Amino acid sequence: MNTAKVRVSLNHIIASYISKLSSYTDDIFQLTPPISGWSYSEVYVHIFDASLLSLIAMDNSITGKGKKQATHFMVKLILLLGSLPPAKKYEAPKILADRVRKISKTEAMDFIMEFETALEKYYPKIATADLQLKTKHPRLGYLNAKQWFRFIEIHLKHHLKQLERIEKSFKG
């Protein structure tokens, strides 16, 4: 896995989130979509909160707080292919779902900026990570620093698709 390519991809993905955020009105940002589920606001809280937590888990792997555990084959395949298996609806783990709330567009932008700052802080550390040390993901099991980094990219892409589904539902 080429972390430099993942970093470039993350820059493009973050730019997409910022572009989409600027296109939503304040009212629609808070509104539960016709397909029900999370509003745009709640998606932004989830994705950037989970991404920040993922960076912390990644850093724990880097700083020696991880364990030497195996990564399941299916998880390795997800990371290799760069996407979650299709045609499956994923529920956020309860620990993350309980953190979801509605926020303003300004707060969402602050969340994005906080994530970008943390990304700048943690990204250079990946190169020195012991790939045997892993920390537990709530669904995927144990991931090392590079795997956490790749997961962040996959998760951010996954929720961009969710935003597109919400957009389509508002258009009728």
For residue 110, the 8-state DSSP code is H
Distance between CA atoms of 154 and 6, rounded to whole angstroms? 10
pTM attached to this predicted model:
0.93
Tell me the per-residue pLDDT of 107-156, one tens digit each, with 9 for 90 and over: 999 999 999 999 999 999 999 999 999 999 988 999 999 999 999 999 99
Distance between CA atoms of 133 and 40, rounded to whole angstroms? 35
Distance between CA atoms of 51 and 57, rounded to whole angstroms? 10
**Paired tokens of 138:** 């709530």
Distance between CA atoms of 111 and 156, rounded to whole angstroms? 14
